[in-house]
Amino acid sequence: MDMSSHNPPSALSRTSGHVISAHDQIVRALAQEILTGALAPGDKLPLEADLLERFGVSRTALREALKTLSAKGFLNVKTRVGTRVSDRVHWNFFDKEVLAWRVAIGMDAQFRQHLAEVRRSLEPTAAALAARHRTAADLAAMHEALAWMRRESASAHDFARADLALHLAIGAASQNPMIRSVAGVIETALLEAFTLSPPTKAPDLHQETVEAHANIVDRIAAGDEAGAAQAMLAVIEAGYQRVEAEQSPVS
């Protein structure tokens, strides 16, 4: 890829401006109410007639939307009992849309902790596997992302996108399709987390963060599985602690 272009790695490009269908509007609105607790687990959904009036849609569109929410684990539909909000344990956070909706309402301390726990269990293993299986193309993608991270003129958002591109490149280099799939699912949450406390605001912190990531790539390039895993874990911990220090209220 031409690093002289004005955008970070294209793997993170997004499409926008599309028209949201009636089905999607209903799904997003009800999902948000469930995720925020406005509709709590065990609550019964309003009557169909009330929902039809609220959203101004056809019965078919409403029923399809409720089916979608049921498939994502949000709703439990029982004949002659009605539709109720399912317990949180059934919500499918490995559904990209569900995770994106959860991120959109804000990353509270518990959510940040849960994300860090997933990263600790997944990414060091991905780095170790990348050290075992990496190709020249994989390393080129990692170095490209590092080059973007090193740019002193990069905005906080561009730095976060490049940071994410590096982590996704490492996941791809693992040659494990399951790891790559999970990394793809949590991509939205990772980007938001990387944006919460960008190291670009302090030159020393910026350089320290980039070098810590470069160490991961160096260990991967050297085929050092244990070293790559340890370097990745160190990066995860440093980022988590930095975010928590900034997000925690001052006493």
Asked if the structure places residue 242 within a domain, the reply is yes
In a domain, 7, yes or no: no
**CATH number of the CATH domain containing 198:** 1.20.120.530
List CB contacts of 36: < 8 A, sequence separation 6 or more: 105
How many domains, the chain? Answer: 2
Instruction: Give, for all 251 residues of the chain, the pLDDT tens digit.
Output: 444 444 544 333 334 456 788 999 999 999 999 999 999 999 999 999 999 999 999 999 999 999 999 999 999 988 777 899 999 999 999 898 999 999 999 889 999 999 999 999 999 999 999 999 999 999 999 999 999 999 988 888 999 999 999 999 999 999 999 999 998 888 889 888 888 888 888 889 999 999 999 999 999 999 999 999 999 999 999 999 999 988 865 54
Q: Which helix (H) or strand (E) holds 77?
A: strand 75-78
| pTM attached to this predicted model | 0.82
Q: Which of 39, 63, 90 is the last residue of a domain?
A: 90
Closest to 246 (Cα-Cα) out of 187, 186, 205, 188: 205
Question: What are the residues whose beta carbons fall under 8 Å from the beta carbon of 246, sequence distance 6 or more?
Answer: 196, 197
- 9 within domain boundaries: no
